[in-house]
Amino acid sequence: MGFKHSAMGAFWGLWTAFTLLAGAPAQGAEVAPSSPEATIAQFNAALLEAIHTPEDAGFEARRAIMESAVQEAFDMPLLARRTMSRSVWSEWTPEQKRLYVDTLQDYQAAVLADRFKPGADVTFVIDGVEDSVQGTKLVKTRILRAEDEDVKLNYLTADREEVWRVVDIYLNSTISEVAMRRSEYSAIVAAQGFDGLIDALNAQIETIISSHNPVAVGASSAVKLPAAVVE
């Protein structure tokens, strides 16, 4: 079974919405520290930092920014667990679970670094916060694009040891990143097992890296996957 990126790319898959984006100053009301708004404001700031990174600094510079941003903003262990059914997750060893979390985090950072290239025009707006299920908070945001329609991107956040972290993302208010990944990744595990899923994620990471390194692309013997990171 083939592997493709989910519609948001976020990390996950953050990210059909981001395919054409690049930077402009973030906007929105001032937010309190250790709040859901603060978490998203800091994440948006990291995205803008990546966008404003000089092009000659290269892909790896943006990837490093995104790796740090994902670690800070997302509850990756919980996100990873929620992308699998309980029965599958319970069958994995602790080592497999750690490997999956780490690989998914690496994939998320690579997708973001690939998508947020220097040079376009975008503004991030935080519109507010709503109470959600089980004490979570939904941070409602928009991405304003100079030459395209606005994108609604909502982040579901949970209080993790007094730090609010993202536990799901909703594109256009309805499309759950976690649900999409669960459907996609569960199908891969059913067909190819745990190793097949890890191999698929690593192959996509390598494809993204190679696309920013013409020498590696020319030298690689790997099967080339579609150029679009987000479908």
pTM score, whole prediction: 0.79
pLDDT digits (tens, 9 = 90+) for 168-177: 999 887 889 9
Q: How far is CA 190 from the centre of its chain?
A: 24
Q: Which class in CATH covers the domain with range 8-213? A: alpha beta
Find the farthest-apart pair of alpha carbons in the chain and give their distance in angstroms, rounded. 51
pLDDT digits (tens, 9 = 90+) for 49-86: 988 888 888 899 999 999 999 999 999 999 999 999 99
Q: List Cβ neighbours of 55 (8 Å cut-off, separation of 6 or more).
A: 117, 118, 119
Give the DSSP per-residue string, 4-30: ---TEEEBBEEEGGGTT------EE--
Question: How far apart are the C-alpha atoms of 198 and 79, rounded to whole Å?
Answer: 16
- 3-class DSSP state for residue 160? strand
The domain limits of the chain are 8-213
Rg (Cα) of the chain, in Å, rounded? 17
User: What's the confidence (pLDDT) of residue 191?
Assistant: 97
Q: Give me the residues of the chain with pLDDT under 70, please.
A: 1-33, 120, 214-231
